[in-house]
Amino acid sequence: MAASHPSDLAPGSHDPALALALAYAPRDARPVFQDLFALDRRLADAVRQASEPIIAQLKLAWWRDRFAQSPAEWPKGEPLLARLAAWDADISRLGGLVDGWEQIAAAEELTRDVAIAFAGRRARSWAVAASALHVAEADAVEAAGMRWALADLAQHCASEAESALVRAVAADLGHASAESLSLPRNLRPFAILGVLGGRALARERPMLSKGGDFLAAVRTGMLGR
């Protein structure tokens, strides 16, 4: 797959958008966001670090098998699994995030369909996290997730042609928008990332690459819009 991803998408990593978003997470909700982003990073690492697609697929299969099991059957000694098991949600749905990363690993080239499917599966993992926080606004959460996922993919593509393809997909789907999305306060990190993603797609540049992006994120973090 031509698109590449950063080695870290976890809290405290070098992704400034995630770090900024997490700064506005309510204390009692923060662990769910941390777990979600850590899982996404682990799957990204499985793809990025593999020398062959089959190796990435084998690593991803381990995670898929876990989400097909009851948490009671999960192996001991994996801290991330232990944290995910504590979610008050149907965490089997996180298997869709694994499927999204496998599509990236297996694809010979980045196509419109691959970009849409990958971003959609990442966005739906956000809805699982929202349900763990007892928020049922899946449509708004997934819309924010799509903006961020498409923007994140666009800025990590291997070529400008692929980045342009992703931005075109976002525009066609209506996600290249700097308008804020209304989300409850305990989902403020998702609102921030949705705003940053939409601005990046609309302006055809990476997230947080201009001072106005930071101000928009802070405003969203404080006011929710």
In a domain, 7, yes or no: no
Query: Which one is predicted more confidently, 209 or 6?
Result: 209
Which of helix, strand or coil describes residue 69? coil
Q: How far apart are CA 216 and CA 196, in angstroms?
A: 8
Q: How far apart are CA 69 and CA 73, in angstroms?
A: 6
The whole-number pLDDT of residue 178 equals 74
In a domain, 9, yes or no: no
In a domain, 164, yes or no: yes
Query: How many domains does the chain divide into?
Result: 1
Q: How far apart are CA 21 and CA 224, in angstroms?
A: 12
Contact 145, 194 (CB under 8 A): yes
The whole-number pLDDT of residue 196 equals 96
The whole-number pLDDT of residue 5 equals 38
In a domain, 157, yes or no: yes
Helix pair angle (53-67, 30-48), 10° resolution = 150
As a whole number, mean pLDDT of residues 40-63 equals 90
The whole-number pLDDT of residue 72 equals 92
Query: Which one is predicted more confidently, 136 or 14?
Result: 136
The whole-number pLDDT of residue 53 equals 80
The whole-number pLDDT of residue 119 equals 97
Domain residues for the domain of 46 are 16-223
Q: Taking the model in full, what pTM does it have? A: 0.90
Q: How far apart are CA 30 and CA 191, in angstroms?
A: 14
In a domain, 2, yes or no: no
**DSSP code for 1:** -
In a domain, 65, yes or no: yes
